[in-house]
Amino acid sequence: MKESLVNLKKTARTLYLLEHTQATISWDQETYMPEAGNEERSEQLALLEGIIHQKLTSPETGRLLAALGADDEKPEGKGDFPDEDKALIREMFRSYRRASRLPESLVTEMARQTGLAHTAWVNARKKADFSLFEENLSRIIELNREKAEKIGYKEHPYDALLDGYEPWMTASQVETVFGPLGEKLSDLVARIKAAGQPDVSFIEKNYPIDLQDSFGRSVIKEIGFPSDRGRLDLAAHPFTTTLGVNDVRITTRYHENLVLSGLFSNIHECGHALYELGVGKNIQGNILASGVSLGIHESQSRFWENMIGRSMPFWERYYPEFQKLFSKQTEGVSLDSFYKAVNQVVPSFIRVEADEVTYGLHIILRFELEKALLSGELEVSSLPGEWNRRTKELLGIVPKDDAEGVLQDVHWSAGLIGYFPTYSLGNLYAAQFMNSMKSDIPDFDSAIRDGRFDKILDWLRGNIHQYGMIYPADELCRRVTGENLNPEYFIDYLESKYDGVYGLRGN
C-alpha cells in the first residue's frame, strides 16, 4: 500500500502543477491577453483540460486507488495512514470517480448544449422572454439528470451535482439549514422594510478610480494580503485564482459611481486568497492545498467582506482616512451615517446586488427550484411562474418581467446546477466560525479598530486555513465550532447587527 500511496502522490503532484498552469493561462486570458488571442487560448485551455483528464482517469490511477482500498463506501481507503494521506486518497478517489464515470459523449454534449444555451439565454434575457430559453434549459436539466445518474448518489440526484462544488454534502443537509433560515430571513426583511431607510445618496457620487485603488490596496495590505505571494489586477469580473503555492492572485474592477462595490470586492477576494495562502506546510504542493469546498471558501471571503469590512470597528478605523481621501463626497456624513449606508438592506430582484440579509433568500429560491426541476416535480415551462410566486413569498416583491426574474443568472445556461447553495452556506459557516473566534479573541472588536488583523488571520489559519482539504466541510465545522452547521449563528448575527442599523427592537 505504501508504494501505491507514493505513486498516487506523484500523480496528484502532476495534476496540481498542471492545474496551476491552467490557472495561469486562464488568469492571463482575463487580465492582460490581447483581444485577438482568445481563440487559441481557449484551445490551449482545452488541451490542458484533456491532459489533466487523461492523467486523472488513467487506468494507473484506478489501479492505485483500488490497491489502496478506496471505494464508494470507504473513499479514504483502508490503509493506516495519517489524516492528510487519507484525505489525499479520498479526494483523488472523489475526483477520479466523478471524472471516470462521465462518458466522453456526455461531456461533449454538455459542452455543446451549454454553448447553444448561453447564446439563447443572452437573447432571451435581452428580450425578457423565458420561452426563448425554455427548450435549452430543458435539455440542460436532462443532461444534468443523466450526469447525476452516471456519477451516482444515495438519496437525491441533486447530491451528485452538489458534490461537484460542495464535496460530500447532500441536498437534505442543505434543507436542514435552509428551512429555518428562510423563515427567519423573511421575517427580518419584513421588519427592516417597516423601518426607515438611511440616506445613501453620497455613496453614489463620483469617486476617482485612482484613489479608490490606492485606498483598496492599503486596506487589503493591512488585512494581510502579501505582495510577494500575490497580486491584485483589473479584470471584467472579480475572482481569485491560485497559480502556485506562493502565488495567489485576485482581480477587481472599479466604477466611479460605485465606490463600495470595488472596495468590498477587493476585501472579498482577499478573503479567498488568504485561505489559499494559509495551507499548512504538510500539504503544500499537493492537491489538498486548496479550499475544501466552495461553501467554506465563501465563508472566508464573506467573513472579511461583511463581518469585518461592514462592521462598525472597521469603519472606526478606516472612515477618517476614507473621509480625508474623499472629503467632498463625504462632506457632512458622520461615521454613523456612513456605517448605516454601508449596511443598507433593500429587497431587490437581483441576487448579485443583494445585501447580506436578503442574499440568502435569493439562494433558497434557486435551491428549491433546482431540486424540483431535477426531480421532475417542476416542469421547466412552469418555472417563471413558480419563480415569481416564491419571490413574492420570500422577498415580498414580484419581478416585472423574466429578465428581472428567472433569467437574471448566467449559471443555468452554463450547465451549473447545484452551485448556488454554496454562496449561502458561506455566510452560515462564517457566522458560526466568528462565534468561536470571538470566544478565543475577547478583544475582537478592538483588534479590528486597531488594525491588528494578524490576530484574526492567525486564528483563521490555525483553525481553518492550515487544513486545506484534509477535513471535509462538515467535519471541519465540528472541529472548529464543536457542532454541525447551524443557521442560528448567522441569524443571531444578523438580528443583532441590523437592530443596530435599523433600530428593530422598537418595531
Residues forming the active site: 269
Name which position in 60, 71, 233, 440 contacts a second copy (CB under 8 A). Answer: 233
Q: Closest distance between a second copy and the C-beta of residue 319, in Å?
A: 31
Among 6, 43, 108, 392, indicate the residue that binds a second copy (CB under 8 A): 43
Q: Phi/psi at 278 (nearest 5 deg)?
A: -100, 5
10 binds a second copy (CB under 8 A): no
Among 2, 6, 10, 37, binds a second copy (CB under 8 A): 37
Which of the ranges 105-113, 221-229, 310-318, 321-329 carries the binding residues for a second copy, by CB under 8 A? 221-229
230 binds a second copy (CB under 8 A): yes
> 266-290 b/e with 16+ CB inside 10 Å = b?
bbbbbbbbbbbbbbbebbebbbbbb
End-to-end CA distance of the chain: 65
44 part of the interface to a second copy, by CB under 8 A: yes
Task: Give the C-alpha separation, 212 to 217, whole Å.
Answer: 8
Cell (9 digits) for 325: 481621501
Nearer to a second copy, 285 or 500 (CB): 285
152 binds a second copy (CB under 8 A): no
Asked whether position 390 contacts a second copy by CB under 8 A, the answer is no
Instruction: With CB under 8 A as the rule, give the number of residues binding a second copy.
Output: 35
- 2, 6, 10, 28: residue in contact with a second copy (rule CB under 8 A): 28
Judging by beta carbons within 10 Å of its beta carbon (0-12, 13-18, 19+), is residue 144 exposed, middle or buried? Answer: buried
Residue with cell 468561536: 436
235 or 504: CB nearest a second copy: 235
280 binds a second copy (CB under 8 A): no
Nearer to a second copy, 18 or 211 (CB): 18
Smallest distance from the beta carbon of 18 to a second copy, in angstroms?
7
Q: Residue 24, interface with a second copy (CB under 8 A)?
A: yes
Contact between 210 and a second copy (CB under 8 A)? no
Binding positions for a second copy, 433-492, rule CB under 8 A: none
Instruction: For strands 247-252 and 230-234, give the pairing.
Output: parallel
Give the interface segment with a second copy, choosing from 16-24, 100-108, 171-179, 216-224 (CB under 8 A).
16-24
> Please, are residues 10 and 285 in contact by the beta-carbon 8 Å criterion?
no
Instruction: Give yes or no for residue 32 binding a second copy (CB under 8 A).
Output: yes
Looking at the Cβ atoms of 43 and 256, the one nearer to a second copy is 43
Angle CA(489)–CA(240)–CA(419) in degrees, nearest 5?
A: 55
Who's near 492: CB < 8 A, 6+ residues apart? 431
Report the sign of the C-alpha dihedral through residues 95, 409, 30, 213, in that order.
Answer: negative
Give me the sheet containing 247-252, strands edge to edge.
230-234, 247-252, 240-244
Q: Which of 246, 375, 496, 507 forms a contact with a second copy (CB under 8 A)?
A: 246
Q: How far apart are CA 330 and CA 322, in angstroms?
A: 9
CA gap 426, 435 in Å, rounded: 14
Q: How far is the CB of 17 from a second copy (least distance, A)?
A: 5
Distance CA 304, CA 297 (A): 11
CB of 283 vs a second copy, minimal distance in Å: 14
Q: What is the contact surface with a second copy in residues (CB under 8 A)?
A: 14, 17-18, 20-21, 24-25, 28, 32-37, 39-41, 43-44, 47-48, 51, 226-231, 233, 243-247, 285
